[in-house]
Structure formats: C-alpha cells, structure tokens
Amino acid sequence: MKFIKLLILPILIILAGCSKFLDRQPNSINTEASYYQNTTQVETGVIGCYASLRDVYNLDFILAGLRSDDAYISQSDGDINTIDFFSEETTNSYVESYWKAAYNSIKQCNVVLKYLGNVTDSIKKLQFEGEVRFIRAHMYFNLVRLYGAVPLVLNEVPYNDTLSSIKRIDPSIVYRQIISDFDSAIIKLPLVSNPAQVGRVNVYAAKGMLAKVYLTLGNNLNQPYPNPYYDSSKTLLLDLLNNPGQYQLLPNYTSVFGVNNEMNPEIIYAVRYQSNANGIGNYFTYDMEHLPGSPGFKAASDFRGNTPFPAADVIRFNQTFIPVSITSSTTGITGISYFCGGKYQDPNSVQNDGGSDFIVLRYADIIMMYAEVENEINGNTPLTAADATNFTSRLYQLNRIRTRASGSVPANVPVYAYNSSSVKTQASFRTTLQAERRREFGEEDQRWYDLLRWGPIVFRTNINKHLVATKAADTLTDVHQMIYAIPQREIDIANGYGIIMPQNPGY
C-alpha cells in the first residue's frame, strides 16, 4: 500500500469557563503546538505535506493541461470551458481552488518547519526539512508560473495576521526563495529513497527540479549565452546524467505508465494516488476519459495530427491517446474521437477515485532538458559525426529519446542526423526539440509550462493555431493570459483589511 495516507490528526478539546471564552486564541493553535512534540509526530506532518499535493494535482490538468494546445473540453461546463477558451473571469472556481490548494500545501510545510526543533533524530531532522522545503519550492514554482507575483509566506501565519499573507511579491524574489529551498533540499535529502517509501523525494529529485527552475529563468532572461542560469542548469543536469543512481530511461515507452508499474526507475518525482483507499484517489483519470458525466478532455486535433505525430511515432501516439467510437446524436454517424487519458488509465477505479500517480519529473525530462540547455550554450558550434556518439552532445541525448520511441523497430522513428537541416543550426535544433518534447510528454502537463518559458512568440503562435483548429475561436491579440488572474476572493479579502492587492493586467 502506498505510504502516503490521508491523515486525521487528533483534536484537542479544551474546556474552559464561559467568562474567558472570548479571550482565548483559536483551538487550532493549541492543538498544533501540543501535537508536534516528537520525531514520530512531526513525521506525520511531513507525510501530510505530501498528501496535500494531491489536491493541487487534481486541478493541475485543468490549469496547465487543458489550457495548453494539447487538449480541449468535449462537454459543457462553464468554468472549465472558459479556461479552455481563454475567457475565464476572476471568480473562476478552478483558478481559485488551485490557489487555495497550493497555499494549503505551503502552510503545512511552514508548520512542519516551525516544529523541527522537536525532532531528536538528527538524520531524520535533516530529511524532514529537505522534504518540506522541496515541496514548498515546488508549490511556489507552480504558483509563480501560473499567477506571476504571489504572496511569499515563509512562516506559519498567525491567526490575526493580515499584511504578510496578502502582499504580492515580485517574481524575481519568489524565484530567489525557490532556489534557496531547493538548494537546502539538495544538502539535506538522502541520496536514495527508502524502498518502502518510494514516493518520498531525494537529492536527485531536488537537483532535477532546480535544473528546471534555472532553465526556466534562462529562457525568461531572453538573452543568448553567456547566460548564468543555463550554466547552473547544465551543471545539475550533467550530474544527473553521469550519476543516475536508481534512475534510468526505460527501454519500453509504454512501461513508464500505468498503475501496475508506478515509481519505476524512470520516475524521479510523482504525486501519489490510490483508488479504493479512503478518498486518496485522483480526479483526472475520470476527467480525461469519455465516461458518463465526465468533462471528457479530448486530444487536440492539431496535436495528434500527422505533423506533430507522424505515423511512424505509433508507440507514443497509442500510449498518449484513447480512441473512442462515438455515434453522433444528430447525424447518427459513428466516428472515432481521441481522449487524453492514455497515460492515466485505471480500469478498476470509479468516478473521482483513480489510482494512477501523476508524474511530475522523469528521467526522460532530464535528458531533454540537457539537450535543450546544451543547445542554448553551444548551439552555434556545428554538429559533427562524432556528436552522434558523444555522451555530452545535445544530439546524442536527443537521439536517446528518439531511439526509445522506436521500440523494437529501430527504423520506425529515425534518429536525427548531425548534418540534417532539422538540427543543423541552433534555431532548427531548438524548434525540433520543442516538437520532440511535445510528443514525449504529451498530456503530462509539461506543454503549458514549456510554452510559457519559451516566450511570447512561441506561446502566441502555438496557442492561436490551436484555437483556430479546435474551436474556431478568436485568436489572442495579446499575451496577458500567459498568467491567470489573481482570484477575486483574495483581492476582496485584502480590501477588507484596507490593503490594495493589484490584479494582473488585462483582467
């Protein structure tokens, strides 16, 4: 059974005289302080931090997956449809719920950090701190990419606090804290995860996530090399490539996914779910399939078409999409529609109780990030025949992904040749890699974050093509919707305290 379980902490009931009732602090403060008294109790708090990620990733496919050009909605649901059409209001329930879930996770991390002094086992104390700093950094990394400037809360918020939990902080400062937390996690986390608790993060997970942070900052810096963020990312990625530890690229692409092979050697970091286990199953398996009452996330035609997915790339195509035979209620014609849940299927789950984990980082991503950052650093150096076998070459690493996609038929998906026009220049290599990432990580919520970091031109070009192809919708004339609105509820709360919390431009 998966180690992350829904925790119900003991509730301390306080009996007091009526005359002192109005002078008391909230009971939750006393309950928390009296509970986290030893190593075992603090560890339950750490596990609760992991558990909090489930609420976040039950929503991530809506804000990141559906919003991208990988998918679109097939049934009518107001708030989901407006996200899909880039027409959501500041009161959108999914935008608000994601914000709440992420900050709830951060809150739990801050509580654990507050009581780390009660951990007497020095080794576990380091691990616990590394784990909760990792999770907090991950949540802020998602928040700053989705919403821009966000409140940066690094301590438990007192019950009577106002300003520190409301003020929005410049993204550069938020990123500084993200880097600091991941750096701290790298120092404190173990090299190898406990085999009995494989969902807990280790040094490799922290290095891989920090490498993605640096790559994101390097892209956003929008300057050619020398770019300090690219150097920092490359150093971490090379370390992961040269010292993979328990991680590797599985020889069979289809083996990476599925409830019967979770946390396999390619998975570095995943949010864990389990069906039929007291409410810790996922929602997205149901949402992505064509089931009665399901929103039914469809695979975008401009994604599964011949250009993004040539016929030779059949292995990844079949793993990514679910073909469903549907008869039109108006025409009576039966046709095939493709849905998004190919990587998340769980035949034994029921509605909103899927057992499939959500993969956040896998070894294939390390390989492709390295190829990308190496191209940004050395892309002006022409590729040679030797680069086809040079481990540190961007071409060699990119072709590792291509070779695996071929399965047992090496000629099925031909590798990129060093003298091919598709990878001959820095710009052509960049475009080729972007298309390869889309095929490799289809429907894994990577695409939206990739489009954001590749900049406004790439973002607008791809999103507009998607809107025209799947919805015949108006194209985006500006890019303010590269980030979401701050939930109106947060602004209203700030106003209630007399604090101006600015909304993102365009909303």
The answer as to whether 333 is a domain residue is yes
- Give the residue carrying structure tokens 């059974």: 1
pLDDT at 282 (0 to 100): 94
> How many domains is the chain built from?
1
> 27-36, 299-308, 340-349, 441-450: which has the highest mean pLDDT?
441-450
> Among 89, 82, 93, which residue's Cα sits nearest to residue 59?
93
pLDDT of residue 454: 96
The single residue listed with the structure tokens 């937390």 is 181
> Facing residues of 334 across strands?
327
Q: Does 453 or 337 have the greater pLDDT score?
A: 453
Query: Which of the residue ranges 63-77, 430-444, 455-469 would you say has the lowest mean pLDDT?
Result: 63-77
Q: Give the structural domain span for 312.
A: 284-345
Residue 367 pLDDT > 70: yes
Phi-psi region of 407 (alpha: psi -120 to 50; beta: other; left: phi over 0): left
DSSP helix/strand/coil, 321: coil
Query: What pLDDT, on a 0 to 100 scale, did the predictor assign at position 361?
Result: 98
User: ω before 323 within 30° of 0 (cis)?
Assistant: no
Residue 213 lies in a domain: no
With cut-offs at 50, 70 and 90, classify the pLDDT of residue 63.
very high
Q: Rounded distance, CA 373 to CA 59, Å? A: 30
H or E element: which one contains 433?
helix 426-440
Place of tokens 């004339």: 477
Query: How far is 468 from 152, CA to CA, in rounded Å?
Result: 38
Pairing of strands 267-271, 334-339: unpaired
In this predicted structure, the answer to whether residue 308 has a pLDDT above a threshold of 60 is: yes
- Helix ranges (H only) for 61-147 are 78-84, 93-114, 122-147
Tell me whether residue 310 is in a domain: yes
Residue 306 counted as domain residue: yes
Which pLDDT band holds residue 289 (cuts at 50, 70, 90)?
confident
Tokens of 108: 């739990």
Q: Tell me whether residue 290 is in a domain.
A: yes
What is the mean pLDDT of the segment spanning 114-125? 97
The DSSP code for 7 is -
Q: Does the pLDDT value for residue 23 go beyond 50?
A: no
The pTM of the full predicted model, rounded to 2 decimals, is: 0.92
Residue 325 lies in a domain: yes
List CB contacts of 349: < 8 A, sequence separation 6 or more. 275, 276, 281, 285, 286, 355, 356
Q: What average pLDDT does the structure give for the chain?
A: 89
| Average pLDDT over every residue of 398-409 | 94
- Whether 227 has a pLDDT exceeding 60, the answer reads yes
Percent of the chain with pLDDT over 70: 90
Residue 62 lies in a domain: no
DSSP structure class, residue 261: S
Per the domain annotation, does 384 fall within a domain?
A: no
